[in-house]
Chain A
């Protein structure tokens, strides 16, 4: 009502300025992260115009960043809900272990069907593993940090047992529609997995910001007691966030294996650091209750350009890990400082 009236009245410039200031404040973190991304890109561009002036680097960024961005996006939900998941790397491999079981069973008779059913098995396996994380955390009351360190080792162990430590060729996947659908090139140039990551980001953003589920995720992370007292189903909400990460991890595992057309039993190793760094650098608070999918999305690409940026600038890649670790510590420290100033 008030807004309808205000459109009829002439809007004073002062009021307009106040509105702008409010919008700026509301989206301060998102604006900041975009600036960080642009600055870093400009810096790397300046150090190595040859690399950053060609399409090849962007093509490779768009194909490899989704491997962890696909998990960082739903992991944002878990962190907003004041939990953590460290097991997604192993769940990537566990999903593919489930794929390989189905695929091998059908390899002789109907390999294509094996791929489709295997893909389904992969997602279901991821869903189960994620749900199990949530179940242990919520129903048994074990801190998610401990739970997911445990399941991380457990699922890796399952993968090694199931695959006997052996890899698996996946060239058959190339004959199915799944190949072009997930890792093909849109219009011959844009990697499909990049478009999937955008689509995934939009979906998760929608559910986090415009759906009851997301509203409850924020409330659970912000003040779990009051959420429970106000009738929010805390347990279901938390379990759902873990389950979504599980499915996403299995999907990411499928995409990676499809891209390289080979299933490594070590799949998922090395994604822990950059996935977590994306979430925290993206402005999602380790204290729960705040965070954005947009921040995580942009931060994933910041994380992604650091490695090639360093190498192209002529420095040793040993710096990469140092910088990832530094980013995690600094962004978490910044959140702590911001939080003290807010409350």
Chain B
């Protein structure tokens, strides 16, 4: 399989806390990877390494489409096409919808003067297409602090879509969403697959991850405890194994070498 992202021998320590040790992780082209793990398993740290927010400890290597990336920064990761949909906190509550959509990537001329009209117009278009906002109370000038949880997630997801990411990372996107909003969010992950893009779907709710992921990677206490292709394991079996993992710290896997 061709990989868009490959991470080899990745470790990350914060002071004396080892958040990740010797992790190998990859995402294939047009593959949806479900990343499962309990709180503190290292999911967020892994994401922050991929997005260039943190750097791996020496020895770790990151490859983007077979090419080694030595100094990954937030802006470089974005240029490569890595986009993250964070939990709620990714929005600036007091700012308007259009300022949030274009956060950090404002349309402007060469002197940095904002193309406000263009951004408002694009936002209005995205609202009726991608976000599915129908309420007339919401305009591109509305402040996002007044939005519901689902609407906010919609804004964050739309933001990623708009900038044509190659690899979209969804960090617990269903947290705090109602059932219908969750459905909408999962539909979006399907949409990523249809569009030929890749995604990492992070959640601790296996019920959400299982139906949309091609492959599921289980992270536990900073290491990869195991991984399964969707075909090789039924939902119930996966649950059993995860329960076992939670109790013993050991995961039975079909890929012993990945331990």
Contact = CB atoms under 8 A, between A and B. Distances in A.
A218 B84 contact: no
A11 interface: no
Nearest to B120: A3
Contacts of A223: 89, 91-93
A230 B106 CA distance: 11
A141 to B, nearest CB: 16
Contacts of A227: 92, 103-104
Given A210-B114, A211-B113, A219 B139 contact: no
Interface string A243-260: 000000000000000000
A229 B108 contact: no
B153 interface: no
A264 interface: no
A215 B103 CA distance: 8
A50 B252 CA distance: 92
A318 to B, nearest CB: 38
A337 interface: no
A215 B113 contact: no
Contacts, number: 84
A343 B92 CA distance: 12
Interface residues of A, number: 28
A211 B121 contact: no
Interface in B78-110: 78, 84, 86, 89-95, 99, 103-106, 108
A343 to B, nearest CB: 5
A2 B113 contact: no
* B51, B104, B116: residue with the most chain A Cβ atoms closer than 10 Å: B104
Interface string A203-217: 000000011110110
B141 A226 contact: no
Interface string B107-142: 010001110100001001100000000000001010
Interface string A267-280: 00000000000000
A230 B90 contact: yes
Does more than half of chain A's interface fall in helix, strand or loop, or is it mixed?
Answer: helix
Contacts of A342: 94, 143, 145-146
Given A210-B113, A210-B116, A213-B112, A289 B105 contact: no
Nearest to A290: B94
A231 interface: yes
Interface string A182-215: 0000000000000000000000000000111101
A215 B113 CA distance: 10
B114 A211 contact: yes
A210 B121 CA distance: 16
Interface string B36-80: 000000000000000101000000000000000000001100100
A56 interface: no
Given A22-B139, A222-B92, A225-B89, A215 B106 contact: yes
Question: What 5 A-B pairs have minimum CB-CB distances, sorted nearest first?
Answer: A230-B104, A222-B92, A231-B104, A289-B94, A212-B112
Given A218-B95, A223-B92, 5 more contacts: A211-B108, A211-B112, A223-B89, A229-B53, A230-B104
Interface of A: 1-3, 22, 26, 210-213, 215-216, 218-219, 222-223, 225-232, 285, 289-290, 342-343
23 contacts: A1-B124, A1-B125, A2-B121, A2-B124, A211-B112, A212-B108, A216-B104, A222-B92, A226-B86, A226-B91, A226-B92, A227-B103, A228-B53, A229-B74, A230-B105, A231-B75, A285-B94, A289-B93, A342-B94, A342-B143, A342-B145, A342-B146, A343-B93
